[in-house]
Structure 1
């Protein structure tokens, strides 16, 4: 199998993530009052100023920060940086009112309009796709308990080398990405392969920060999902596997107990059951 292992770079992945962000995400804040912009910008700057004063930051350290910020932009890694180290708090605040399923961060590698596979089907994958076959069954309901027919379950995840289609070379466009629509009883069945843990890109600016700080770059194995239905709030989540050594120290701080799966061995692979309860909009 041809993989992206030797050819993917942080800069190329970052550029793809940046372009995707520009095309998909720059909506929803038109008309924000200047007072709100001023409040948020001022408090962020105040926090930076307080850190400088508290720790007596030197000009050499300031210039190192300046150079690093420039390199984040040059590498196109602002989506990666913000999604790894900031988004989990934004998600926490944005969804704290929910009574249904817990969610978590989207991350930088979502692509809309993945191929439709019906209520039961397989995600597109290569004939020799590595990984343990995984069959996932579940049901989508409202907080009232009623089944949500026609709900959309979008799934995407990394391959066995830790790379996402459309963000690394030599991978088919929609590999390990699919859209499923629930049946009349709210049920769905998805066939894919179990993903592997992976490191976020380390050859760019984010990798330099990780090395300088003595951090690790690992994310535990996970499945990304977006679950939506008319009249209900969109749920974005990642689902995790027990026993992963980085469940407790995920670099993106995105793991929650409610998002842990319970795979069971079956003939030819593994099976999981996990459903979703959506809050009304």
Structure 2
């Protein structure tokens, strides 16, 4: 990873890209606008805020600092980052509480639809000499009843060895370490990639100011992002982590679940590591 890439992968650029991606895939006004539900949710949110102010005797100086910070979050384009890091894991927990199949977790702000379609055994697009430990990720997609799901799709994307995502940092090819793998007639897949690195969420913008002010760390553990789907079944969005990796126990985004931790082993006849992980999908 070059110094130029590292220096230019700013919070502002990343935030703007995340906001643009969100707007392109989530048109405004798509949620059911039920007046009673809006009233309930907003009223309870405001009541909780009022309770915090009263309980902690919030001052006007603190109130004005909050207003200034919220304005800056919007100007930085970091609302998707803020919500995905500190709020989404609870939304996902509620959305997936009735699933019988594989565990999901947050999507995060760096998903881009339309990644190149690849066969059941494939190598994710990457640069010549891509840095990092080679990783073979393989498995099978089945229904919760054990039936192999032919032609299931496994969308995978992840950071590179420097902790950067294509389309959210300069100098990376558009689809670097992103692909949509189509499983074979038994739902099997074998994906060759590199093991990603842990990374800091952008800290030079408004979210970074919050992290510094609160004395938190800004790190996410190394992880693979996946969206797994098959006809007639519910799509699962998840992330998979690496046993023993840094920040697995204190992820800034609170997205790690025990069921999502991988334990790769060295490949038997070459460099790198390999791991098997199967997915079970609920009926639609």
- The secondary structure found in structure 1 opposite 2:140 is strand
- The secondary structure found in structure 1 opposite 2:190 is strand
Give the TM-score taking structure 2 as reference length: 0.97
Q: Which residue of 2 aligns with 1:205?
A: 206
Offset at residue 29 of structure 1 (A): 3.3
Q: Which residue of 1 aligns with 2:279?
A: 276
Measured in 2, the distance between the counterparts of 1:41 and 1:185 equals 47
Kindly provide the CA deviation profile for residues 174-222 of structure 1, in whole angstroms up to 9, marking residues without a partner as x. 0000110110011000000000011100000000000000000000000
Runs of 4+ in 1 over 6 A off after TM superposition: none
Alignment RMSD, CA only?
A: 1.1
Measured in 2, the distance between the counterparts of 1:195 and 1:153 equals 18
Offset at residue 26 of structure 1 (A): 2.7
Q: Which residue of 2 aligns with 1:224?
A: 225
Q: Which residue of 2 aligns with 1:182?
A: 183
Measured in 2, the distance between the counterparts of 1:117 and 1:226 equals 14
Offset at residue 244 of structure 1 (A): 1.3
Offset at residue 30 of structure 1 (A): 4.5
Determine if contact 2:198/2:246 at 8 Å carries over to the other structure: no
Give the TM-score taking structure 1 as reference length: 0.98
Q: Which residue of 1 aligns with 2:91?
A: 90
Measured in 1, the distance between the counterparts of 2:68 and 2:134 equals 45
Determine if contact 2:144/2:281 at 8 Å carries over to the other structure: yes
Offset at residue 161 of structure 1 (A): 1.3
Q: Which residue of 1 aligns with 2:258?
A: 257
Distance 1:252 1:60, change over 3 A: same
Mean Cα displacement is larger for which, 33-42 or 103-112?
33-42
Q: Can you give the 5+ residue segments of structure 2 that lack an aligned partner in the other structure?
A: none
